[in-house]
Amino acid sequence: MARMQSVEQDALSRAAAARDADLQDLIEELRIPSVSTLPERRDDCLRNARWLRDRFERLGMKTEIVDVMEGGLPVVVADWNGRPGQPHLTIYGHYDVQPPDPMDEWKSPPFEPEVRDGMLFARGAADNKGNHMATVKAVEHLFAAGEPPINLRFLIEGEEEISGESLPRYIRANAMHLRTDAVLIWDSGLDEDGHPTIATALRGLLYVELDASGAAVDLHSGVYGGVAPNPINTLARIVGELKDRHGHVTIPGFYDAVVRPSAEELADWKKKDATYAETVKRFSGARALEGEEGFLALERTGSRPTLDANGIVGGFTGEGKKTVIPAHASAKVSMRLVPDQDWKTILAALKKQVQELTTPGVEIQVDLLGAAPPVTCGVDHPAAKAMRAAYKAAFGKETTLIRVGGSIPVSIDFQEAVGAPLVISGIAQSDSAVHSPNERLVVDNYHRGIDAVIRFICGLARP
């Protein structure tokens, strides 16, 4: 026990002395524009994977870059089993990032990291490079202090932002070799009051594209207006009718399997709801919040399912004038799902409803872009308790239990194939502008996160 405490204190001291170097390492990774959805950035994604591999190899971990499927982006796998008889921890992260668009809204270039007012601005600073680099640096300091007190594995993927299949396939194909005592999914953040959080649930995802086609070619809106089918008109009406003005999704059966939150959760949300709503308006710049009537704002962002149009294109959208009836139009629509909704059932109902809503001259095709079921997580296991204790020591605050509105698709694969308890958490502040221009991470959170992970890993060790 004394030796473990010595390793922990030595690692914490090393982290405190290496704050500048640790920040520079994060900045170095942030300079890699690893945008997984853009084919022209594929080489950058591969470069980021090699960058991580090299760091793990320098630690003496058994490391490989695994190409799981043709055309996919690889998984970085790093293992260290130098503590026989001690628990095993798997740490998850992703090296891919969202596109930086719209570029003109960035105050500094998205892949030229810049520190301003105690925050690090760059694409990926919060999601997920700031998070996973905090875990990498914590392990580096533990190795330097005499090796970690438990066995470790890193699984860092390159397809999280595109709901990719490489890591889920890898996990399910190698489940027997990936046994572990806990999985740390550090891809979340603090709440609006700056408290560390642990997730009790993640919403699932159903992401589709509606492709509408009318005439064979674009048509003159004067010559053919009044008789030609208009894919934009039809598509806009369909998207509008999928959710009414009161925030209620109209897909038949959409809410049938939704599990209501507990009385204890609702009571806690009621205490915080007014403050939360005002904070969201301030962070987002929205004049008012919308959503299902009759539900708390906190309820709508964690325990209620959603449907949102994410983009719609068609016809002439350039400068100037061109009066055409377009031949094609498309829209991307996402649904966030909650326990116990089944995305396959909802997809079938959506396809049926779209065909009922379309007009005779417009054909609509519904294409599946991505899907993931919702996840529920227990928080009474040793790993969750160790994380709460680590957060208390590193941040000086109690941990809040939350339902996360976003999705981490691979969580269900860890849960079903590996069977280990999940700890879903992270260090991004609530106004980190994830997926938006000027994404940022509070620098102090990064250093406290390194501190917390050191304490967490040491807290999992047996005497």
pLDDT digits (tens, 9 = 90+) for 282-337: 888 899 999 999 999 999 998 999 999 999 999 988 899 999 999 999 999 999 99
Q: How confident is the model at residue 164 (pLDDT cuts 50, 70, 90)?
A: confident
> What average pLDDT does range 359-383 have in this prediction?
94
pLDDT score of 158 more than 80 = yes
The pTM assigned to this predicted structure is 0.86
Kindly state whether residues 242 and 336 are assigned to the same domain: yes
Kindly state whether residues 185 and 251 are assigned to the same domain: no
Q: Could you give the 3-state DSSP secondary structure of residue 309?
A: strand
Kindly state whether residues 44 and 128 are assigned to the same domain: yes
Residue 413: predicted pLDDT: 94
Residue whose tokens read 């594209």: 209
At 376-424, the pLDDT tens digits run: 998 999 999 999 999 999 999 999 999 988 888 899 999 999 999 999 9
Q: Is residue 387 part of a domain?
A: yes
In this structure, are residues 328 and 314 in contact, taking their beta carbons and an 8 Å threshold?
yes
Phi, psi of 333 (to 5 degrees): -130, 130
d(CA 395, CA 385): 15
Kindly state whether residues 161 and 34 are assigned to the same domain: yes
Kindly state whether residues 46 and 95 are assigned to the same domain: yes
Residue 265: predicted pLDDT: 85
pLDDT score of 1 more than 70 = no
Q: Is residue 27 part of a domain?
A: yes
At 79-120, the pLDDT tens digits run: 999 999 999 999 999 999 999 999 999 999 999 999 999 999
Residue 456: predicted pLDDT: 98
Kindly state whether residues 48 and 140 are assigned to the same domain: yes
Query: In terms of Cα–Cα distance, which of 179, 232, 177, 188 is closest to 210?
Result: 232
pLDDT score of 2 more than 80 = no
> What average pLDDT does range 235-247 have in this prediction?
96
Query: 146: domain range?
Result: 2-202+375-459
d(CA 426, CA 411): 15
Encode 160-183: b = buried (16+ Cβ within 10 Å), e = exposed: bbbbbbbbbebbeeeeeebebbbb
pLDDT score of 212 more than 80 = yes
Choose one of 372, 406, 430: the last residue of a domain. Answer: 372
Q: Is residue 283 part of a domain?
A: no
Q: 342: domain CATH number?
A: 3.30.70.360
pLDDT score of 4 more than 80 = no
Residue whose tokens read 């009836």: 325
Residue 263: predicted pLDDT: 87
Kindly state whether residues 190 and 109 are assigned to the same domain: yes
Kindly state whether residues 249 and 316 are assigned to the same domain: yes
At 36-45, the pLDDT tens digits run: 999 999 999 9
Burial of 227 per CB tally in 10 Å (0-12, 13-18, 19+): exposed
Q: Is residue 265 part of a domain?
A: no
Q: 77: domain CATH number?
A: 3.40.630.10
In this structure, are residues 450 and 444 in contact, taking their beta carbons and an 8 Å threshold?
no
Kindly state whether residues 198 and 208 are assigned to the same domain: no
d(CA 308, CA 306): 7
Choose one of 337, 357, 372: the last residue of a domain. Answer: 372
Q: Is residue 270 part of a domain?
A: no
Kindly state whether residues 51 and 127 are assigned to the same domain: yes
Domain count of the chain? 2
Residue 282: predicted pLDDT: 87
> What average pLDDT does range 182-194 have in this prediction?
93
In percent, how much of the chain has pLDDT > 90? Answer: 88
Choose one of 352, 372, 392: the last residue of a domain. Answer: 372
Kindly state whether residues 25 and 166 are assigned to the same domain: yes
Return the bridge partners of 243, or none: 249
